[in-house]
Amino acid sequence: FQCGVPQVTKANCLNTTEGAITMLVQGGDGPTYTYQWSGPNGYTSTSTITANISMLFPGAYTLTVIDESGVARQCSTVNVGSS
């Protein structure tokens, strides 16, 4: 499967959780995937519904996707900046 190009919303300041990442995943043994995000300050998020995450502090976030066959792939690290 493939990870698309992420759309990133910046946080307004360094200490705010206004950032967001929208990611599209296609292919592989879907249509159900498990999306596991990790990021700064111990941030983690796991979902089988969407790869999108929000209320993020600025920093680097990494998405690992697992398809229905158990195949895992790490997508590119996504940086949420601040304005």
Burial 8-20 (b: 16+ CB within 10 A, else e): bebbeeeeeebbb
pLDDT of residue 26: 85
pLDDT of residue 73: 92
Q: Give 25-54 pLDDT, tens digit per residue.
A: 888 777 889 999 999 999 999 999 999 999
Q: Which pTM was predicted?
A: 0.89
pLDDT at 56 over 90: yes
Are 43 and 24 within 8 A, CB to CB?
no
